[in-house]
Chain A
């Protein structure tokens, strides 16, 4: 058989499926990938070095910008870390608002993750539908925080302000209020958006052919290679920090952990995200019910404006939209963090590409990157 010459190609550095800049070096034998290596660092913004020169509360806006599609969960991780160092507990209402916002953000993030994966595989209208729905969520976020994408909403010891009047709505709110009230959007999501994803893509034969059996990841490899979040769960490992290492008040909510069905391929990673939107919607509903009945404080009274945590260190893990967000925070007793290390899930997931890609066609690389749901702001920080 005639052997063709091996070809080294560059994918990127401006690859559309990556929310940023990523270059992947791929060796091709015909159309089959034999080797792949990601090259990162184009978006490096020195977040960790910058944080060492800011007061504790001033770091919060920077955490937004690491994973800019899931800003609230990053804030949650950082704020929890500082509160653990300080040894304070936010008021109950603030905890519920945080969980509400974090889960709403998770839906928001998965919507774009699913949409952009669909776009990469050629389904342009699905991407536009994702944006249509995200815009409605942005409008709700904007009414609460003032920002559409980068919120700076959580505070050490609570949240910046209470929910505005009327934003919760009532469980009877319909689709016409999807961009005005939480209940309006959640009802719209349950009755319209998720069924639409199911019909449009999950049940779509072409989509299934492009994703099923592509880049399977065994559960042993997933754990060894540090996968977390939907990527880990798609491989069949039922591990969710919200359940297994309960933080904040997640132990008060009822929800399930979706797990991939067979072998952790691209389709399973997709399916787990769709299911997680359903589960997040359940949590949001429970939080909304509690919040509607229980008014109260949203900030710890009499907290210093620029707190000085006692010397010490903490490593906090939070289940972000993409997986385990870890914050390693070292305090030396001053108003500024001595050291911040951001353990981001996308950074760890990108290491999987050399493992997943070989043996598949070059067109499958698009599905692989899309299914890992990588945000380069988080990879490079």
Chain B
């Protein structure tokens, strides 16, 4: 097994896409910050450079904006210590954000994108089946992982122990 070199790929990426910033995360891994327009091209570029495993996709609610985070890395039996590359799109609106779907590139992220839609309300353009996944289909209460989410369902009556 040999240590995998992603630095060369990321340097090439920064060269190819001028607005994209690449930085190492102190706790481990790399982050690639790109704009909404570049996002699909950046992921497609990484996919072609051998980042074949889509591990996870999620969002962070920074109270004034949303940030999309996609964790991808190279999975190959010969690689040692393949670091995670987090592709990030910052500055998405908290209401009605639309992001291109990367499910066609990584079919394994299908449900992760559905979950991000369900929990944060980010719509994925081009997703084959974008429906709520963990909450009921007819759920009207909003997107629960937003920081200002309030559960407005009626409280269930508390059980009071009967005195004998």
Contacts and interface: CB of A to CB of B under 8 A. Distances in A.
A87 B26 CA distance: 9
B108 to A, nearest CB: 2
Contact of A312 (B26, B69, B71, B84): B26
Interface stretch (B53-61, B92-100, B153-161): B53-61
Nearest to B149: A49
A312 B28 CA distance: 11
Nearest to A236: B77
A381 B107 CA distance: 21
B75 interface: yes
B80 interface: yes
Contacts of A238: 77
Interface residues of A, number: 41
B9 to A, nearest CB: 17
A111 B86 CA distance: 35
A317 interface: yes
A348 interface: yes
A246 B71 contact: no
A326 B107 contact: no
B149 to A, nearest CB: 8
A177 interface: no
A226 B108 contact: yes
B144 A326 contact: no
A128 interface: no
B17 interface: no
A224 interface: yes
A200 interface: no
Contact of B111 (A227, A312, A315, A350): A350
Interface string A315-357: 1110000001010101000000011010100011011000000
A224 B108 contact: yes
Given A49-B144, A226-B109, A244-B79, A315 B60 contact: no
A23 B22 CA distance: 42
Contacts of B60: 330, 338-339
Contacts of A316: 28
A175 interface: no
A46 B162 CA distance: 31
Contacts of A223: 52-53, 75
Contacts of B75: 223, 237, 239
Interface in B12-36: 25-29
A84 B28 contact: yes
B45 interface: no
A315 B29 contact: yes
B134 interface: yes
A341 B56 contact: yes
A376 B58 CA distance: 20
Interface string B71-83: 1000111011110
A315 B71 contact: yes
B133 interface: yes
Contacts of A343: 55-56, 71, 112
A244 B1 contact: yes
B52 A224 contact: yes
B25 A328 contact: no
A328 B111 contact: no
A46 B28 CA distance: 27
Given A313-B27, A328-B58, A244 B80 contact: yes
A314 interface: yes
Contacts of B55: 226, 315, 317, 324, 326, 343
Which of A243, A312, A314 is packed against the most chain B CB atoms within 10 Å? Answer: A314
A219 B141 CA distance: 41
B111 A347 contact: yes
Interface in A228-278: 237-239, 243-246
A95 interface: no
A324 B28 CA distance: 17
Interface in B131-152: 132-136, 144-145, 149
Contact of B27 (A314, A348, A351): A314
Contacts of A347: 111-112
B108 A227 contact: yes
A239 B73 CA distance: 13
Given A223-B52, A226-B54, 19 more contacts: A41-B135, A41-B136, A44-B135, A48-B145, A84-B28, A223-B75, A226-B107, A244-B80, A244-B81, A312-B25, A312-B27, A315-B56, A317-B84, A326-B56, A343-B56, A348-B112, A351-B108, A351-B110, A380-B134
12 contacts: A40-B133, A41-B135, A44-B134, A223-B52, A239-B76, A313-B27, A315-B86, A326-B56, A328-B69, A328-B71, A348-B108, A350-B111
- 3 nearest CB pairs, A to B: A226-B108, A314-B27, A343-B56
